[in-house]
Structure 1
Amino acid sequence: MKTDYFDKAAQQFANLMIEKIQQVEDNWQKPWITIAANTRNFFPQNLTGRRYAGGNAFLLLFLCEKFQYQTPVFMTFNQAKDAGISVLKGSKSFPVYYFLFYVYHKETRKKITFEEYKALSREQQQEYNVIPTYKYYSVFNLDQTNFSDVRPEEWEALREKFRG
């Protein structure tokens, strides 16, 4: 099941990249992401303001440009629900990935957090196994919700924040 979701997410990433490459093929000097070049502070973030990084930021910017989203704010279905926001019927989500590390003692199998592991000395770290893994989450843009109806003042403030 996880492999199916990984394959689906990877295909969505690939399709988005191919589409963008085809768009800039005729004018390769044009910025890849014009919405970010023409708009201030247009960095993908979640509802709390935490910015997406790396490939997630890159791909979410492509999405913002493709669908002309007014803000680069994204959330999962559950985050929207918890915030009292509804995702609009027919909206399509996009996967984002999150890397995490499982750390456990080689002998005792006791788990510790990655932050605890990083605080250990090099000698102590040798006693632990670190398993990198990732999770995918499906996110929606704020434009795909009823946020503008439920919180009109906040909506206008966000639009102003990201306006060119």
Structure 2
Amino acid sequence: MKRDLYIEVTNKIVAQLEAGTLPWVKGWSTSGSMMPMNAVTNRPYSGINVLLYWGSAERGWSRPRFLTFKQALEAGGHVRKGEHGMKLYFFKQLEVADSSNPDETKCIPMLREYTVFNVDQCEGLPNDVITGKAKAAPANLDEREILADEFIVASGADLREGKGKPCYIPSRDFITVPAFADFHNAPEYYAAAFHELAHWTGHKSRLDRDLSGRFGTDAYAMEELVAELSAAFLCAEFGLDNAHANQAAYLAGWIKVLKADSRAIFTVASKAQAAANYLRDTANNAEPLEELAA
């Protein structure tokens, strides 16, 4: 029987959700977890692959750095005998004949998988492959994170702090969050701010994200999942604990959709990554804060 990779991946995510575990909710600043990446190229993984790594915490890897069997050999090391790698997924464009026009072809995205190994599963690797860049110190739970604040300002979003509960108002295109001091700690504040920023990216003048055509009446719940994942991606990048996320009200709805549609989690993870990328790209291209204040 031909394997259905969509179903295999979805079943992994659903099993965790049904067990009451949200794979994207982690204590980044205390566990040292962050975005997984290729240990040779230092290129971060994205979308569904991030969730699959976060869901593999029971394997006890000390670093989120991976490489293929071949890359380990090329780097001067090797994968230890008997080690089992982690599956990653990517889309390969398959060119096929267009049934509506025999003289034309079209590209169909085909899901493919490959295996990577954590650096902890290898021997003989150079130190720079194993450790990469020096890890930033954990965020102070009681103080504002300067880089995260600069990131929010550079996004260009109209974020009004101290103006009510965390909320994005699409009709007026602004975000409200309670005052920083009203949160239990700094990571909780930034997780809420990033969540609303993710919603903000969906405005028609930005990513124009409308999930109703894809998910119908479940669009609202799936938009919440997009925002949750995007916020988790950003918290991980800034080394912030997002373990205070609380989306229990949507859990049953998410499970229902994912069970009914094995491609839903891929769509949502892709949309969440696009939202995080949009915010990062916008912040990177913004004028320096000194010039903005001039």
TM over 0.5: yes
Unaligned runs of 5+ in 2: 139-294
Q: Give the drift of 1:40.
A: 6.1
| From 38, 41, 47, the counterpart of 1:54 | 47
TM-score (norm 2): 0.37
Matched, 1:101 2:78: no
Which letter maps to 1:134? Answer: L
Residue 67 of structure 1: aligned partner: 59
Matched, 1:151 2:126: yes
| From 82, 95, 100, the counterpart of 1:90 | 82
Mapped partners of 1:49, 1:55: distance in 2 = 18
Matched, 1:14 2:11: yes
Q: Give the drift of 1:108.
A: 9.0
Q: Give the drift of 1:101.
A: 1.4
TM-score (norm 1): 0.61
Where relative contact order (Cα < 8 A, 6+ residues apart) is larger, the structure is: 1
Q: Give the drift of 1:93.
A: 1.2
Q: Give the drift of 1:89.
A: 1.8
Aligned residues: 135
Matched-pair contact (CA < 8 Å) for 1:39–1:162: no
Change (3 A) 1:101 1:153: closer
Percent identity, please. Answer: 25
Unaligned runs of 5+ in 1: 110-126
Of stretches 49-58 and 65-74 in structure 1, the one that deviates more from structure 2 is: 65-74
Q: Rg: which structure is higher?
A: 2
Q: Give the drift of 1:158.
A: 3.3
Mapped partners of 2:82, 2:13: distance in 1 = 19
Q: Give the drift of 1:102.
A: 2.9
Which letter maps to 1:38? Answer: T
Mapped partners of 2:102, 2:26: distance in 1 = 53
SS in 1 for 2:114: strand
Mapped partners of 1:12, 1:103: distance in 2 = 24
Q: Please report the RMSD computed on the Cα atoms of aligned residues, expressed in angstroms.
A: 3.6
